[in-house]
Amino acid sequence: MGALALGPLAACGTSTGAGSSDNRLRVAFSTSGDRESLDPHTSTLFVDQARSKALFDTLLGYDQDMSPVPRLAESWEPDETGKRWRIRLREARFHDNEPVTAEDVLYSYRRIADPATGSPAQPQLSGVDFEASGANSDRELVIVLSEPDFTFPTAMGAPATEIVPAGTTDFGEPIGSGPFRFVSFETGGSAVFERFADHWNGAPKPDELEFVSVDEEDARVSALLSGQVHYSHDIGANSVATVDNDSRARILATPYSTMQAVAFKVDRPPFNDNRVLRAVLSGVDREALVKVVLNERGELGNDLFGKGLKYYPEEIPQRERDVDHARALLREADAEGLEFELHTSSADPYFEPAANLISEQLGEIGLKVRPRVGPSETYYSDIRKKGVAGHTRTATLPITSYLSKRLRESSVSANYTGYDSAEFDGLYDQAVATRDEKKREELLADAQRHARNHSGMMVWGFSNWNVGVSSQVGGLTAATPNSTRWARFDEAELG
């Protein structure tokens, strides 16, 4: 494989490819500029998670339906109370040939649970009682929870829960137990890793893996079709047809895998008035958004996360547009003619067209909505702090993980709406402490009903998950985001 020679990628900080292997797989992702690091516990963007997956490993992963599957852990069992979990590790080694031990797991989990680390997975491990937890041997540990949780395995498979060697604080040249090991990294630019032949699951097929920084979707598609990269992440519906009509590449599509939503902040005016929130929810035409913005390559949303996944309450009727009801709610709230900005960005190819259409739709109920485009590099951190409404998306996660991580006030890193409900928290806590599966499902459905009407998360659709792959590459399959097989580059074959 030759060097990357074309100008646009060089401008994005791409490696020249000098000294690279002919068996180097190049993958293009959007990045977050100089804010990046290789610390797996602070990963938030897809590129962060993909690099972490290459360098590190988690105890568990997720199958396509988000059920837990083994990675570094070969077994996990709760006691009758749901508070004590015994975990048995497989034989695995770090890149420096040291074994992965129970102490490494405990250190990693303590670091993730420490609020000072700033990990997005911190809420999922905040219930661990580390004083009571401990290692029974090098390959067995017991994790004790402060409260019963029969869904705890979902936390052990979550993004940003990778295991690092005990005592690690510097990730400039990180050591992990993943299928690739570190060679070089430039923030906002390229990262180069090499094959780790002693990986517990076998040696990767590529000799080298390079992550290439390409922020704009059009540029990622062009780089794929020109042969500069072999894999192009996150392709929108309009670009799918371009790739489909070109023999040099193909699309791997996973149906409706990404929630498309607008987060309305319910902890501040005007959406702390539930009448205004309900007016917006009634005023949006979800069918038109799926048809126009997703080009009919997606699924209708019902202001709920996780369509098709376990614990999704299918019995809740679809929310339909009702302009008259929306106008009546605004009159009741004395909010006719209300103006607000709707934050959007190129961070997702659907955000900006959706913002324009939603602005038109809400104009028909008497609101004045102005789309405001922000930089993709800082977009998600910006909308957590600024404004009252902003587009967001969430790739597939276990529904219990989403509910605990995105809809609790304590989930400061991922709660975009400021939703804080004792009723929701009580229903959720009761559900995960319930051993009986049917009763747990009923309680989780009740929690989701409350969140649907009060959380401020307006889910208008689910987009297909599309990635572009060069025709020269085999071994990659369509995979649900955040599943074990997503961005699993160790099985890719260049030919």
Confidence class of residue 429 from pLDDT cuts 50, 70 and 90?
very high
- What pLDDT does 13 receive? 40
Element (H, E) at 263: strand 249-264
The proportion of the chain whose per-residue pLDDT surpasses 70, expressed as a percent, equals 94
Does the pLDDT at position 9 exceed 70?
no
Q: Which residue has the tokens 């992550």?
A: 211
String of DSSP letters for 61-98: EE-TTS-EEESSEEEEEE-TTSSEEEEEE---B-TTSP
- Set out the domains of the chain in order of their start, with CATH numbers: 21-230+472-494 (3.40.190.10), 256-464 (3.10.105.10)
Instruction: Report the pLDDT value the prediction gives residue 410, as an integer from 0 to 100.
Output: 60
Q: What angle do CA 317, 320, 321 make, to 5 degrees?
A: 165
CB atoms within 10 A of CB 203: 12
> Contact at 8 Å (CB) between 457 and 451?
yes
Which of the pair, 22 or 410, is modelled with greater confidence? Answer: 22
Model confidence over 353-372: pLDDT tens digits?
999 999 999 999 999 999 99
pLDDT (tens digit, 9 = 90+) per residue, 63-107? 988 889 999 999 999 999 999 999 999 999 999 999 999 999 999
Residue 297 is predicted with a pLDDT of: 83
Model confidence band, residue 4 (pLDDT cutoffs 50, 70, 90) = very low
Q: Could you tell me where the DSSP H helices lie in 169-313?
A: 217-225, 237-244, 274-283, 286-292
pLDDT confidence tier of residue 412, bands split at 50, 70 and 90: low
What is the longest distance spanned by two Cα atoms in the chain?
Answer: 68
pLDDT value at position 11?
38
With tokens 């797991």, the residue in question is 105
| Residue range 119-136, pLDDT digits in tens | 988 888 999 999 999 999
Torsion angles phi and psi, residue 445, rounded to 5: -65, -40
What's the chain's average pLDDT? 92
Residue 301 DSSP SS3 = coil
Judge whether 330 and 365 are in contact, CB under 8 Å.
yes
**Percentage of the chain modeled with pLDDT above 90:** 79
For 41-67, write each residue's pLDDT tens digit.
Answer: 998 888 999 999 999 999 999 998 888
Inter-CA distances, 206 with 5, 19, 35, 230, 475, Å: 21, 15, 28, 12, 11
- Look at residue 7 in the predicted model and tell me its pLDDT: 41
Question: How much is the pLDDT for 481?
Answer: 87
Contact, 330 vs 484, CB < 8 A? no
pLDDT over threshold 80, residue 280: yes
Q: How many helices (DSSP H) and strands (DSSP E) are in the chain? A: 15, 19
| Separation of alpha carbons 203 and 193, rounded Å | 13
Least confident segment among 14-23, 162-171, 237-246: 14-23
In the block, tokens 């020269």 appear at 472
Taking only the tens place, the pLDDT of each residue in 466-483 is: 999 999 999 999 998 889
